[in-house]
Structure 1
Amino acid sequence: MGKLLLLVLGLVVLELTVMIEVGAAIGALPTIGLLILTAVVGSSLVRSEGIKTLLHAQQKMQLGEMPGREVMGGMLLAVAGLLLVIPGFVTDLFGLLLLQPWLRHWFADQLISRSRIQMSGFPRPQTPFGHATTDDQPPKQGGTTIEGEFERKE
């Protein structure tokens, strides 16, 4: 928790320093206008990238594939949107970087691979009869087969 607090305080100090320097160079009103412009343009870019990501996820689901990269990319887009709405040039820079599809996909792949490593510590799921399953083969079904007839009543 202490590291996060130091990170946030350092970011605030850096943002204020950059805003003061930009304000001294171009003036206060143009600086405020530029901050508003980056928030508006950034939010529209996040919306369009979010729609693309949603369409890719739907295509993957229609093909029967898991849209893990798209889901993680959507979360990263939400972070990018938050960074772009927060007033400041440094956060805007990080938000714009997250809007780049190649960088977002790379981050998503890294986060997915880390979550797989952390998930490997959990015990394997078990069947209702207590046998551990494997990813390679379905659990073997054993027991007695009972034949019979049935009638559907509605």
Structure 2
Amino acid sequence: MWLLFAFIAVPLIEIGLFIQVGGAIGLWPTLLIVLLTAMLGSWLVKSQGARELANLRGSFNELRDPTEPLANGAMILFAGALLLTPGFFTDAFGFALLVPQFRAAAFRALKSRVNVQSFTMGGAENHQPHEHHHRGPQDRVIDGEFSDVTQTHDSPRRPSGWTKH
């Protein structure tokens, strides 16, 4: 029901804002503002998205919970979609999602409404879903075959054909 309301309300709000702003400043300045906000928004999404991707990699490298960087990345992606959509209402909400404090408040609000049953990190190959087995370096065995390729002293060394004589 809320989604249907959003699909009806947002375009109506945008049309009303276009009429009001266009009537106040004119057609071409209104279109210029829409174009400039899309360009500025794209640049901000790119820079903040790269920063958040680095945070996500850091959380994986340090084996920290990646939930917040993933949520921030999703909000930045959504902000990019809103900023590329022509309109003042969607631009305002898109720019709000690019403010880190707004994203943090939105993340806290969403986190309080979501209940995570379990969370595990690391390799879970050959383990049951809720089995907690921590493997250490001593558990790693690599099978392989080898051939001794050292040259014996009695065989003369010949060029390989790949080098110049």
Residue in structure 2 matched with residue 56 of structure 1 by the alignment:
55
- Deviation of the 1:106 alpha carbon: 2.3
- Deviation of the 1:78 alpha carbon: 0.7
1:86-120 CA-partner distances (Å, limit 9, x unpaired): 000010000000000111122223334433x1x44
1:3-152, aligned counterparts within 5 Å? Answer: 3-115=2-114, 117=115, 119-120=116-117, 128=128
Q: Distance in 1 between matches of 2:37 and 2:52?
A: 22
Normalised by the length of structure 1, the TM-score is 0.73
Letter in 2 for 1:98: L
The number of aligned residues is 128
Letter in 1 for 2:77: A
Letter in 1 for 2:21: V
Classify the secondary structure of the residue corresponding to 1:66: coil
- Deviation of the 1:57 alpha carbon: 1.5
Normalised by the length of structure 2, the TM-score is 0.69
**What percentage of residue pairs aligned between the two structures are identical?**
33
Classify the secondary structure of the residue corresponding to 1:12: helix
Classify the secondary structure of the residue corresponding to 1:40: helix
Q: Distance in 1 between matches of 2:18 and 2:117?
A: 45
1:31-67 CA-partner distances (Å, limit 9, x unpaired): 0111011001001101101011111122222222122
Q: Which protein is bigger by CA-based radius of gyration?
A: 2
Shift in CA distance, 58/14, structure 1 to aligned 2, threshold 3 Å = same
